[in-house]
Amino acid sequence: MALVKYGGGIVQASGSIAGNTYARNRFGNYIRPRTKPVNPNSIQQSAVRTSLSYLSQYWAQVLSAAERSAWATYAASIAMKNRLGETVYLTGFNHFLRSNIELARHALTIVDAGPTELELPEKDTTFAIVCTADDQKIIVTFNNALGWAGEVGGELFVYQGQPQLITRNFFNGPWKYTGKVDGSEIPPTTGEELDAAMTLVEGQKVFCYSRIARADGRLSEPMYASAVVLATAPV
């Protein structure tokens, strides 16, 4: 489905109509022929589909009316951006799926009731990565003073993109789940090592993004970082 913004004609469009796909990158709006993506039916893709199906039934059959109402209240307070950069408000069901999809995938506890703190978690402006080819590790730097790190149930989920040429300055997927850092009453130490989801080669560039999940079910906007793969970790 395409989103179209009207003005003196069409001001901006995003999505597909007939045989054309409308999109925008750092250089402006563009149109390209629509292509049907190949369905790789990967293990990760299957896990996401299974989790979505499970959570849809969970919403309808397990949650109480009061719990669904709490998600609706939370959703009505959270302003999001669509592909055109416009402010929109998702439904309570949308936020329930958004917050719980990774929890369900990794057999973590589902958050039933909608959050009572009506704002997204604070983003970590210190999020950074170091990638090393010898041990195929991604070292994740984060601020362990943030709320998620000091609570049981808080998580930092990390995703890796396929390594790129060193000249690449931006990347928008696809992404592969890499790992997570668990919050605890004693916060984890920054510099957590995760196994790379895709092979790291010295001199290539790697893009990663992360999201913070709070114990009450709130999920942050993504935080991005990139690094050139080193032969070994810096001393």
Residue 224's DSSP bridge partners are: 209
**CA dist., res. 124 & res. 145, Å (int):** 10
Residue 222 amino acid letter: P
C-alpha of 227 from chain center = 19
Query: Which pLDDT score is estimated for 105?
Result: 86
Residue 133 confidence (pLDDT): 95
Query: Residue 27 has what pLDDT?
Result: 57
**Could you tell me which residues are beta bridge partners of residue 88?**
80
Tell me, what's the pLDDT at 153?
93
Architecture of domain 128-228: Sandwich (2.60)
Domain with CATH 2.60.40.10 in the chain: 128-228
Query: What pLDDT does residue 43 have?
Result: 64
Q: What is the pLDDT of residue 41?
A: 61
Do the bridges between strand 3-7 and strand 9-17 make them parallel or antiparallel, or are there none, so unpaired? antiparallel
In whole angstroms, give the CA distance from residue 31 to residue 18: 12
Instruction: Single out the residue of 120, 122, 140 nearest to residue 131, CA to CA.
Output: 140
Token readout for 211 is 């999201």
Determine the pLDDT at residue 118.
94
Q: What is the C-alpha R_g of the chain?
A: 19
pLDDT tens by residue, the chain, 235 residues? 666 666 666 666 666 766 676 666 655 666 667 666 656 666 667 777 888 899 999 999 999 999 999 999 999 999 988 877 788 899 999 999 999 998 998 889 999 999 999 999 999 999 999 999 999 999 999 999 999 999 999 999 999 999 999 998 888 888 999 999 999 999 999 999 999 999 999 999 999 999 999 999 999 999 999 999 999 987 7
